[in-house]
């Protein structure tokens, strides 16, 4: 499979009151065409900022300071705004965590979907609206013609997320970035949305970068998964491989903290300590203060992400395997 998106040594920093936050600190990640790649990590680990860096939609105080994002071999970092606008919503689409606030309250959902179509496919209003209705039907909204004329506040959260998916896929993008698409939804609706995304992926052939903190979602959806901690990817592997034999102490901790049916447990496993202060990340491996292993060298040098597992596809950044 050819690489659709290749992130190389990406650094994104934010200037805030009190200093500079290295939200993304040297991320390498490859998304093959038509693949679903999971990006997991806890809040503040830099997953969403990685996604916004790809889209170049960072807030004003955020900046990509180093690295490249190659899309079809073209570096998106430093691309002029006009060219980036042609890629956004056309080749790379994005859906967000909060379906309740992600749609503009004063325009109908049909118009909002049609806007993307009209912008990128240079069709007239009527054709755009027709495509919008077709997309609404594809994402499983009944009576799509009537729904297209409704405003976001007239739809439920699950339906709004379907509208967001319809909008994102309306231009048949090659890459769909889904930033916690189900986090804000009820569990039953979550399952429906995930199923929908899987089905549509087959239909549209888009690759998906799925950002989540829910390992269950990863297991269900992803071909491979990357684990982020404090702005860096600490482990990356095909999904089954990662769940079967996690190598990084952080990944091991994460997987151990999932309760299992049928297994009697007095208490759930916890990773002690908390995420380092983003303004004062310790030198060396950022996970060291919470790490049960505390391998030598990890107090001084940051470990590189390289194959240390059973296969060449299983990458881990930990000094204990050196």
Residues that bind another protein (CB under 8 A): 55, 57, 81-82, 85-90, 93-94, 96, 98, 101-108, 115-116, 119-120, 151, 153, 164, 167
| Shortest distance (Å) from residue 121 CB to another protein | 11
**Which residues, 6+ apart, have CB-to-CB distance to 50 below 8 Å?**
7, 10, 12, 24, 27, 29, 39, 211, 228
Question: What is the helix (H) or strand (E) element at residue 183, kind and residue range?
Answer: none
| Shortest distance (Å) from residue 212 CB to another protein | 18
Q: Which is nearer to another protein, 90 or 224 (CB)?
A: 90
| Shortest distance (Å) from residue 91 CB to another protein | 9
| Shortest distance (Å) from residue 12 CB to another protein | 16
- Residue 244, burial from CB neighbour count under 10 angstroms (0-12, 13-18, 19+): exposed
| Shortest distance (Å) from residue 98 CB to another protein | 6
Q: Which residue has the tokens 């859906």?
A: 95
Q: Which is nearer to another protein, 116 or 218 (CB)?
A: 116
* CA–CA dist 11, 68 (Å, integer): 9
* CA–CA dist 57, 49 (Å, integer): 9
| Shortest distance (Å) from residue 77 CB to another protein | 17
Q: Which is nearer to another protein, 117 or 189 (CB)?
A: 117
Q: What are 3's strand-pairing partners?
A: 32
For the chain, the C-alpha Rg in angstroms (whole number) is 20
* CA–CA dist 52, 243 (Å, integer): 27
Q: Which is nearer to another protein, 90 or 251 (CB)?
A: 90
Q: Which is nearer to another protein, 86 or 301 (CB)?
A: 86
| Shortest distance (Å) from residue 27 CB to another protein | 20
Q: Which is nearer to another protein, 164 or 209 (CB)?
A: 164
| Shortest distance (Å) from residue 290 CB to another protein | 32
* CA–CA dist 45, 52 (Å, integer): 13
* CA–CA dist 66, 273 (Å, integer): 30
**Token couple for 83:** 């060219």
* CA–CA dist 169, 156 (Å, integer): 20
Which residues in 195-249 belong to E strands, given as ranges?
A: 207-212, 224-229, 232-238
**Which residues, 6+ apart, have CB-to-CB distance to 91 below 8 Å?**
71, 173, 174, 175
Q: Which is nearer to another protein, 63 or 290 (CB)?
A: 63
Q: Which is nearer to another protein, 85 or 320 (CB)?
A: 85
């Amino acid at each position: 499979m050819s690489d659709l998106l290749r992130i190389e040594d990406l650094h994104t920093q934010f200037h805030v009151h009190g200093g500079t936050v290295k939200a993304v600190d040297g991320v390498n990640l490859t998304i093959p065409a038509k693949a679903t790649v999971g990006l997991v990590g806890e809040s503040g680990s830099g997953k969403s900022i990685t996604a916004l860096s790809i889209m170049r939609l960072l807030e004003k105080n955020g900046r990509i300071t180093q690295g490249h994002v190659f899309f079809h071999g073209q570096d998106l970092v430093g691309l002029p705004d006009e060219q980036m606008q042609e890629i956004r919503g056309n080749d790379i689409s994005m859906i967000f965590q909060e379906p309740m606030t992600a749609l503009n309250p004063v325009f109908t959902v049909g118009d909002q979907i049609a806007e993307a179509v009209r912008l990128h496919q240079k069709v007239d209003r009527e054709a755009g609206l027709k495509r919008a209705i077709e997309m609404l039907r594809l994402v499983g909204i009944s009576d799509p013609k009537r729904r297209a004329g409704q405003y976001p506040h007239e739809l439920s959260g699950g339906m709004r997320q379907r509208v967001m998916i319809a909008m994102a896929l309306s231009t048949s993008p090659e890459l769909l970035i889904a930033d916690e698409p189900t986090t804000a939804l009820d569990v039953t609706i979550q399952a429906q949305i995930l199923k929908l995304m899987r089905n549509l992926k087959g239909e549209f052939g888009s690759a998906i970068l799925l950002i989540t903190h829910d390992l269950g979602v990863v297991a269900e959806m992803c071909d491979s998964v990357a684990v982020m901690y404090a702005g860096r990817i600490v482990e990356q592997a095909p999904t089954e491989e990662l769940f079967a034999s996690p190598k990084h102490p952080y990944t091991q901790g994460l997987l151990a903290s999932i309760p299992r049916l049928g297994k009697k447990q007095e208490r759930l496993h916890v990773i002690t300590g908390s995420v380092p202060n983003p303004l004062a990340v310790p030198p060396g491996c950022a996970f060291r203060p919470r790490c049960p292993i505390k391998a030598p060298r990890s107090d001084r040098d940051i470990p590189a992400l390289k194959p240390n597992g059973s296969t060449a596809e299983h990458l881990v950044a930990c000094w204990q395997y050196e």
